[in-house]
Structure 1
């Protein structure tokens, strides 16, 4: 009989003592363990040396494409440097990410045109993601987006945040920041200009900001904000539209797959309301949702599917052959404590087989059962990972019902569990998912309006607030339910061919640059089975 333990991947016990950066240490202090036989490095060196070794050695075991990585001697982990230790480790992770090529494109699986040379998926941090995905924020509570070269807008505001308290709404135009009026988009390919860097530093890396904003009615007002801690509600908005003829559309803006403890009560509230209103169709707005916890993606998927799908396959998970065959040696140093029993376990003990990680739909723990004619997902280049997992899960279960509205999503069919190395947490792709129809591999993203993803391809309309029925992307969904077509009669659609002052490539690049530090991924924080 298999025992099941909860893999709480973002809350780890301390298994290593800290050392001064200049000290000489043995790897058995909690980096890679010093006992691997995989092209083993010297056991002597500074703490940074040993951490750099560990980054590479863990990748050699756990990275989804590990069979394409070179030897330790060829890669030379200790040669990677930076402005500080974290920068040096980030440069090493970036280098690892660019090695293995996708035969379909000739580029690395982690190649990212908007940030050439940097990993599209992998990263290393000091616990920042852990706080973000558990719903704890310490910022201003808003994010900007360029709607044009000279048009910087507020794209969302978290309820209860400093921005919300200051009266800022999605769609407001940012006229000036910290007294500077010239905040127009000036970035070139692959890098930020002075204006963009100024905007990023002001809202993402400062503790105080002053802004002048313009409302839709043309009036302006000034705000002065200080960062503050608050618990982020990932559900930014939900409501129901009665379109007549027994057609009711539920609309929900879900901005992050935070932990179940944070997200579940908010989702329950929204979907219970949808059920009470008897909705016939659903719009899930994921346009800025970069992903998060796999368990929350599963919960949302279970909320949406009908009871008839209970017990059927939701998705399959695939790990590399090293993990499946049980040949990962240093993963035994990744020790965790089960949240329920208190028992210790380590990553090398798990069953990484496909059958052992098949996930079925389950309606047992969700409060509603909806029978929906259409499920629309609003997506953009900022829609990533756990968001795409949710879409793919439902595409497999309800292929004729799922439709996409917006622009091409980020493209991340892979996910990770965290690896603790000294005071750092490393996230590298360790698994890939496919739905019940074995569909996956969307590395180039999901493009609405194509044979694979029926719907309509159109641009984000950041000039209007969430839920405004005239907002372009939402209007497409409402019109489809009402009239059977995405085109909205009598409404000027902000199409991809209109006279925008930014190209689609510029818009995507600007969105990525302004999302500095925003998490994109899916983290395996759910029960895994121990090997027999």
Structure 2
């Protein structure tokens, strides 16, 4: 959550750029970083991007010197493109010994950052509960089958009657929308039309038996996000009742918590015995909201025990942060200024306990996940693993055990990993994702099913949870309900997951630290 107003942000820009240079121009015999004392505004911004990374980036120790990196060499068709190239370059230095590739290696497009990015405030706006887009997202159910995977209530798509499961036949008059790989012409056309346009025209089939396609034209517009797309209960018989909730974004507490309370109060009143949390398209958001949902789920006996810990780099732990003193924020409660340089970055100062909320008492929770399930979603899952029977259903998650706080540089906001999280059993490091149906993540690996609405008991992934609650095992392929999404696929599960990740590439995934850290 942003703890400073736009006006305050503007007042510190000149000081931020100037002090960023001066503070880091001091010679360090082990690692000399001496930028020129003058330059254009873009030059100073590029310098600041690198110098902040040299201090706060979780893998700062893999970065070269200023002269070797040469921040001012990064150019583009516009300033944001140049800065994005620089951030991508920073992300590729530190190698993960477990994979032999950079920690931020992104398989579909080597050289791009898997986690880091820079923008002009769009993420802050989105995570505080406001989107300005079409209000839907596409998903390849198969190479030649593009679907609507969700629609936000109150969005342009919702107001036009678009529903999850509708098949997209053409976009902006172009019917060449067959998946042709992550960097294919067709795939990139779909991404650009959906993620970067301000108007989009869709020809849709409302069902596979629908003989009359409909055309809708949508204009991007602002709307309030309800991150809880739906919730309901399912009677599984023999005294077993399942609570089901689709949670699609970890928006701010002010936005998300009341919606979560409404759902969990309903679950408590219905006496559910099992819970299914559908995070299949949830790319993350604020860590405080992840804590909130964990506190709703965790058993009361775990109250005041460790939920998870933050781990920052050794420079921050040792109190050697210079530039972060320039990251000034306004405490919304006390109305006093503070800055990121004042924080205690030790593990002891960053251990978060459970604080049980509500009276829900369950011993098992199912999480529905896909390659679009990232960061704060994975944090939510990981925090509960030592304390309940946690089952994962779906495809391998994105793999992001690191998070960030935003760094303001001129009109830009930079997000680079500054910390890693671990649960109370010291489990973390899931850089390659959480794979359902493995020793570490019990459950079942199966296709996403965008042909059915959320909560439909015949939808493939939800039906797995229902089968398990009833019989104590997951359905074999021959036993499960065969929906249209799982018949005669040309996609493998891995291909389906990769396509989904690529379509989601232009949307936020991450966990943002939005609470004031303990002061030193």
Same fold (TM over 0.5): yes
Structure 2: distance between partners of 1:43 and 1:257: 41
Unpaired segments ≥5 residues, structure 2: none
CA contact (8 A) 1:17 1:29 kept: no
Q: Secondary structure at the match of 1:527?
A: coil
What is the deviation of 1:497? 9.6
Q: Is 1:202 equivalent to 2:193 in the alignment?
A: yes
Give SS of 1:61's match. Answer: helix
Q: Secondary structure at the match of 1:468?
A: coil
Corresponding position of 2:88: 94
1:470-523 CA-to-partner distances (Å, cap 9, x unmatched) read 100000000100111111674345799974222344323322332242111000
**Could you tell me which of 515, 527, 530 is aligned with 2:504?**
515
Q: Distance in 1 between matches of 2:326 and 2:292?
A: 31
- Contact 2:84/2:117 (CA < 8 Å) preserved in 1? yes
Whether the 8 Å contact between 2:45 and 2:409 is mirrored in structure 1 is: yes
Give how far 1:261 is off: 0.6
In structure 2, relative to structure 1, the CA distance for the partners of 1:28 and 1:246 (3 Å cut) is closer
Cα offset, 1:185, TM superposition:
1.4
CA shift digits 1:202-256 (9 cap, x unpaired): 2222222222211225223222222221101000110000112110000000000
SS at match of 2:97: coil
Instruction: Note the aligned Cα RMSD (angstroms).
Output: 2.0
Q: 1:151 to 1:498 in 2, by over 3 A?
A: closer
| Residue in 2 that maps onto 1:381 | 371
Q: Are 1:359 and 2:333 matched, yes or no?
A: no
User: What is the aligned partner in structure 2 of residue 137 from structure 1?
Assistant: 131
User: Residues of 1 paired with 2:42 and 2:11: CA distance?
Assistant: 14
| Residue 74, structure 1, aligned to residue 68, structure 2 | yes
Contact 2:451 2:484 in 1 (8 A): no
Which stretch of structure 1 is more off in the superposition, 34-43 or 155-164?
34-43
Residue 44 (structure 2) pairs with residue 44 (structure 1): no
Whole-angstrom CA distance in 2 between matches of 1:31 and 1:120: 30
1:339 aligned to which of 327, 332, 338: 332
| CA distance, structure 2, for counterparts of residue 521 and residue 141 of structure 1 | 20
Alignment of 1:51-450 (within 5 A): 51-187=45-181, 191-193=183-185, 195-216=186-207, 218-219=209-210, 220-363=213-356, 366=357, 368-398=358-388, 401-450=389-438
Match 1:526 to one of 505, 515, 518: 515
8 Å contact 2:328–2:338 — kept in the other structure?
yes
Shift of 1:40: 2.2
TM-score (norm 1): 0.92
Query: Cα–Cα, structure 1 residues 31 and 118, in superposed 2: closer, same or farther, change >3 Å?
Result: farther
| Contact 1:30 1:333 (C-alpha < 8 Å) held by counterparts | no
Judge which range, 171-180 or 228-237, deviates more.
171-180
- CA separation in 1, counterparts of 2:12 and 2:315? 30
Contact 1:123 1:426 in 2 (8 A): yes
Cα distance in 1 for residues equivalent to 2:132 and 2:122: 11
In structure 2, relative to structure 1, the CA distance for the partners of 1:373 and 1:92 (3 Å cut) is: same
Measured after TM superposition, the shift of residue 70 of structure 1 is 1.1
Distance 1:390 1:214 in 2: 36
CA contact (8 A) 2:245 2:277 kept: yes
Instruction: After TM superposition, give the deviation of residue 31 of structure 1 in Å.
Output: 6.7
What are the superposed Cα offsets for residues 338-372 of structure 1, whole Å, 9 maximum, x if unpaired? 11112111111100010100000002xx3x22121
> Is the Cα contact below 8 Å between 1:16 and 1:31 reproduced in 2?
no
d(CA) in 2 for partners of 1:359 and 1:29? 34
Aligned length: 511
Deviation of 1:160 (Å): 1.0
Rate the CA distance shift 1:10–1:17 in 2: closer, same or farther, 3 A: closer
1:463 aligned onto 2:451: yes
Secondary structure in 2 aligned to 1:393? helix
Bigger Cα displacement from structure 2, 135-144 vs 481-490? 481-490
